[in-house]
Structure 1
Amino acid sequence: MRKKFITCSKDLLIENDKLSTSNSEIDRLLRGGFRSHILNEIVGTGGAGKTQLCLCLSLMVQLPNKYGGLKKAAVYICTEDVFPIKRLYELSTSFDQKFGIGNFLDNVFISHISDCQKLKAFLRLDVKYLAKFRDIGLIIIDSIGGLFRSDNLDIDYSDRSKNFIEIAAELRQLSVKFNCITICCNQMTDDISSGCSEPCLGLAWSNLVNSRFLITRSNLSSSRTFQTLFSPDLPTSRCNFSITKNGIT
């Protein structure tokens, strides 16, 4: 059964879809799954499992409501590495065996974008054009930090903040317009002054994110931890999960 989250804005009741992750513990932490009408962010170091979770979500969104899906398509935007198509195929085979629903790969629309101006144009034009032919339930950017990392020390932070605002605004508008889930992955960076790791892009980007979740991986095992860092409707909490050949467990 499709899960809903009800919000009230200017006396209008809005139903927000929720997308299951396929993992019962993470779903419990999220109170049903990732929800629409907000900007979600998943942060973590390289190899933590961000992409693996997003690949599973791009398949979950295609499932019927009774399985926690939305029966919609996914848009997957890569900004750094080559898209892991072999891994998606492996997962889609496992999902097909489990749920008996084929053609998963036909409903994941992949684009490689390495420039923030091209990303803004893609969100403003291409996604809306695609929505004329397919119901879009999920938009993933993997990763947002990859668009802005640069070896150039002479960074125009004012211009960068403006790009942050425009991208976040476009994602939220798409989420509301198509009642879809929007997720940005982000890397971690070391803060020399504090000696701690923190999400890339600093406060200018953090202030635009509605819900931020952290994935960490133990060096001694394959176990991962999924944690809520902040969210308007979720308490700070965490749970453990693993990544297997068949997905996340």
Structure 2
Amino acid sequence: MAGHSKWANIKHKKGKQDAKRAKIFTKIGKEIMVSVKLGGIDPEGNSKLALQNARANNMPNDNIKRLIQRASGEDNSTQYEELVYEGYGIGGAAVIVDVMTDNRNRTAGEIRHIFDKCGGNLGETGSVAWLFERKGQLTITLENQDEDFLTLEAIEAGAEDVVVEGDELIIFTAMEDFDKVRKIFEDKNIAIGQAMLTKISENTIEITDIEQAKQLIKMMDLLEDNDDVQDTYSNFDFSEEIMWQL
């Protein structure tokens, strides 16, 4: 997929190596709590995706149960709201930041500070969203699996694209086909690791300067490390030569 940018690849690899599991669990925990509050434990709704991603990241079942109980309880007064920040990084790369926060003023200040610190500019709502399209994304571990068979199954189910990243098969779908494709795999007892909606841009920005590439990665890392940030998306791209220098 043309819009599957270098940041998506780098983030995917970093996520596999990242030892900061507590931070990962915090992000997933917020996702579970908000999903349960909004729709309960709907077997086909957002809570299913949140729970599936929790298990894909090896969150203990006891942790998941406690989060569901907290979200379902009347005594839980913490209110999170989902917000989206948009802007540009150095070199003109478009950036979208999805957050879940209990204090929008605090979060806005922190996100703006990261953009400014790394040579970027936080923009207005809609400033870069038009460059991105919502897509479904499914991840399947290839261990003891036939890559060609799974690829054919994905295409026949209605996938738009299939990408191999290391030992994983990443399947992209149109947003309206996401649930259908996911259910086809589940009905065939093919284990899905992560299942989520993502944002992909078909218009990538080629970064040819190594210092700009480093600054962009630094900015995206700082955003990812923020406790309120749930996900980040960008459309920058650069050569394998620059990749090796990062």
What TM-score, normalized to structure 1?
A: 0.29
**More strand as a share of residues:** 1
TM-score under structure 2 length normalisation: 0.30
Structure whose residues are more often helix by fraction = 2
